[in-house]
Chains A and B, each alone.
Chain A
Amino acid sequence: MGLTARDQQLVAAIQCGLPLVSHPYAEIGARIGLSESETIERIQALLTDGTIKRLGVVVRHHELGYRANAMAVWDIPDDQVDKLGRRIGAVDFVTLCYRRPRHLPDWPYNLFSMIHGQSRDAVLRNIEHLIEQCGLGDIPHEVLFSRRRFKQCGAHYIDSPPRQAATGGARIPVGGQP
């Protein structure tokens, strides 16, 4: 666990996005004293070991017309949660699927799935499909629609490289949001 100092600098240097220039990795490398090929090699290594889950675009789903999102939560017997979790996670309109702990008696649900849609009705229809397709008819569930979004940004997480230090902690986008 933990990154080398050089990898931390690299992580901080690309956290706000890749430069929109012909040789983006050369530009990143120049900020932290790496050559273009060293930068490429380190980024590939971080992708391979899973430190970087994915490189690419992150869409703002609200701006694209996906105005409804619901967290559908399921109370699945422990010995079935792996099988059903994989099944639910494989459905194309499910964007996240995690096993999380129950808090009995207030919170009996142990599987969380995030379902987006262009409308509330579309989300509910998708959940009906999900129940049918994955055989969830007997599984207690609830659907938690979002009413307001207060914050949608990365968290303060790692210090920026020296050139940005004046602005304080940097925001690191992390995967796996609910």
Chain B
Amino acid sequence: MDARDIAIINYLQGGFPVTDRPYAEAAITLGITERELIERLENLLEKGVLSRFGPMYHAERLGGGLTLAALHVPDEGFDRVAEQVNGFPEVAHNYQREHHLNMWFVLATETPARIDEVLAEIERKTGCRVYNVPKIEEFFVGLRFEL
């Protein structure tokens, strides 16, 4: 990655034009050509620096359900439970964290009602109590890195 790649990433984390030639438009701001911008994006996606280039959706507005939930999993059963939880297609992210509640996962479902059903299935399958902590209010939506 060079300075131009960094400039591209910083700029395009903030948005992308919705016009007939958006790459050309963004390229002007970045002081490069449309072709160079497209090639650099291809390269950054291929190298895995970028996971995606596209939309970030608001799950609830799409009509779906979204929540964060946690489990306390005893150390000796951790890998087995991780496999069971990750086996649910509705589980989007799953992290092991250093705490008594040591497994934290995000659930995204087609309908809001499915959230409780899937959490109940997870509870039954793993034998671990599920702590459901859905978002009540959002104070910031960034996940943006200034490089």
Contact = CB atoms under 8 A, between A and B. Distances in A.
Interface of A: 1-3, 11, 14-18, 20-26, 36-37, 40, 43-44, 46-47, 49-61, 63-64, 66, 71, 82, 85-86, 88-90, 92, 94-101, 103, 106-107, 112, 114, 116, 142, 144-158, 169, 172-178
A40 B99 contact: no
Specify the main secondary structure of chain B where it touches its partner. mixed
A14 B54 contact: yes
Contacts of B91: 151, 155
Contacts of A147: 95-98
Contact of B49 (A64, A85, A86): A64
Given A15-B54, A142-B99, 16 more contacts: A11-B55, A16-B54, A17-B52, A20-B38, A40-B19, A44-B18, A56-B16, A57-B41, A88-B140, A96-B141, A107-B131, A116-B145, A147-B95, A172-B62, A173-B56, A175-B143
Nearest to A169: B89
B139 A66 contact: no
Specify the main secondary structure of chain A where it touches its partner. mixed
B12 interface: yes
A50 B55 contact: no
- Assign chain B's interface to a size class: 35 or more
Given A89-B140, A101-B133, A101-B134, A50 B58 contact: yes
Contacts of B74: none
Contact of A152 (B24, B68, B93, B145): B93
Contacts of B133: 100-101, 103, 107, 112
Contacts of B47: 63
B76 interface: no
A137 B14 CA distance: 33
A98 B101 contact: no
